[in-house]
Amino acid sequence: MTRKGKENVNDSASLPSGVTMNDKNSLEGKNSEHQTGGVFIGEGTRISIPKGGLTIRMDSDGELIVDPVTVHVQFDTWPMWLQLGLEHLAEANRRHIAVLDTSPGLYPKEVGRSLEAEFKAGMQAIVAGGIAIDAFYAAVKERIDIPEKTKNAWRENRTARDRQIAEVMRLAFNMDSKGVVQVQQLLKEIMRFRGWAVHPSARSAEPVQHPELGVGVEWRFVAFGFQNAQSAVRVSLALIAQMLPRSRKKYAQLDEYCRAVSSRIHPLVSEWEGLYGELFSRSDASELRGKRPIAPNR
């Protein structure tokens, strides 16, 4: 605001006072010695005792003393992101049906609202699918040996995220050369669409034709529509579901992990197939299946 005869210029951003967020580093200081109610272990949470977390010693009288035990807990987020992807996909589907049931010529406002709602749900489904893969990659990476030469090359060459993930999948899981190429292609597309969502461009562009309405629309209404969201969630879910039984036995921690979390993927696969049909073909176990989202011409 300005006052008469004098400008009031303030270029600094102002955030609400008293707003704080507990990040991982601040929370780690609140360790078990301050906890009085024990540790809650819910479904999907794993508990472990770190090195040095369990100490048994003998006192001067020969009595065994067990010091307080330190435990670590870990919760996998990739099943949550897959579930979120399915939920947003269902909403995108409902909104997509509403778009098709309404004439843009007779009811332009209704079509506009439905297109925007389909876009929002589809975008969130695509982003959720991409994050699910990222979270699964993080879990896998912690349980295998990545050669230092490979990690140095990633840093020096600024290797793209999708290529790093594909390489970790190749190291961790049994795949033939065809499967590796398929994974690379699918990951590249998923990460490209996710990038469009989380790093949006503000540039204007020519309209693209909506494949079903037959009218020109802003390109994002096609890129993040139900069809592409369905492909993205399918790729993410199918990729993880097909990787879990393929873990290389030489990585004992990974193999144990994959067997332990397999039960978390089965309900998600069943949910998909109950709504949209077969997720991937079981007839050819050597071939990875997935359908890439289709990018509009921009």
* 33 within a domain of the structure (yes/no): no
Mean confidence (pLDDT) of the chain: 84
Answer whether 0.85 is exceeded by the pTM.
no
DSSP state of 173: B
Mean pLDDT confidence for 21-31: 58
The confidence score (pLDDT) of residue 294 equals 57
Q: Output the CA–CA distances (angstroms, integers) from residue 39 to 24, 44, 47, 72, 242, in the order listed.
A: 17, 14, 10, 10, 33
The confidence score (pLDDT) of residue 2 equals 40
Write the pLDDT tens digit of every residue in 100-146.
Answer: 998 776 678 888 999 999 999 999 999 999 999 999 999 999 999 99
The confidence score (pLDDT) of residue 89 equals 98
* 27 within a domain of the structure (yes/no): no
**Shared domain check, 53 and 175:** no
The confidence score (pLDDT) of residue 291 equals 55
The pLDDT confidence band at residue 34, using thresholds 50, 70 and 90, is: low
**Shared domain check, 190 and 141:** yes
Q: For helices 226-243 and 177-198, what crossing angle results, to 10°?
A: 140
Q: Is the model more confident about 21 or about 3? A: 21
**Shared domain check, 189 and 239:** yes
* 161 within a domain of the structure (yes/no): yes
**Shared domain check, 151 and 81:** yes
Mean pLDDT confidence for 186-209: 92
C-beta of residue 262 within 8 angstroms of C-beta of residue 206? no
**Shared domain check, 118 and 228:** yes
Write the pLDDT tens digit of every residue in 247-275.
Answer: 999 999 999 999 999 999 999 999 999 99
DSSP state of 29: T
Write the pLDDT tens digit of every residue in 41-73.
Answer: 667 666 666 777 777 777 777 788 777 777 677
